Amino acid sequence: MSILNILRYPDPRLHKVAKPVEVFDERIARLVADMAETMYDAPGIGLAASQVDVHEQVVVIDISETKDQLTVFINPQILWASDEKQVYDEGCLSVPGIYDDVERPAKVKVRAQDAKGEFFEVDADGLLAVCIQHEMDHLAGKVFVEYLSPLKRNRIKTKLQKEERGMDREKQLRAAGRR
């Protein structure tokens, strides 16, 4: 297993739409294992393959306190979403340090496949419902900040770009000091 690089907003690759998984083989099993390790290391509660620049419909989620209840959703589809809405303070591994309220359906019924290709269904509410919808947005090429006002979105984009430039400059300085 290995830790994968998580794309940071506003990287344009985060807007690519993921394709369905058709073959459930060792490559998918390895991707799922690497994604889980990456998510736990970050630390996070969900990760979509799109966030690690693999544009296939693969999601890993673990909302447990003990971090031992990994659920894999491959080719997930929302079969039903409640009319009732809920607002959650969401964050994202691709948008580090940023949290904001997003309104989503309070309950969803999802059909997906596991890492072996077996179909299953889940009725989700609360944090699990939010997490599933958030990660499925990534598969559709959407990042949670797109639910925010254009003003907030631009401020976040500017802040993260400045941080990225600062990290790049720090790397350059460290490299120059090693010569």
* Rounded-to-integer distance, Cα 61 and Cα 76, Å: 12
* 118: annotated active-site residue: no
Any known ligand binding at 15? no
Catalytic residue among 103, 135, 146, 164: 135
Closest-CA residue to 77 (of 146, 133, 127): 133
Q: Spell out the residues 6+ positions from residue 171 whose beta carbon is closer than 8 angstroms to its own.
A: none
Please report, in angstroms and rounded to a whole number, the separation of the first and last CA atoms in the chain.
32
Paired residues of 89 in beta bridges = 101
Tokens 């997003």 correspond to what residue? 102
Closest-CA residue to 134 (of 64, 51, 54): 51
Any known ligand binding at 92? yes
Any known ligand binding at 131? no
Q: If DSSP codes are grouped into helix, strand and coil, which group holds residue 1? A: coil
Task: Indicate the annotated binding residues for Fe cation.
Answer: 92, 134, 138
Q: Kindly list the catalytic residues.
A: 135
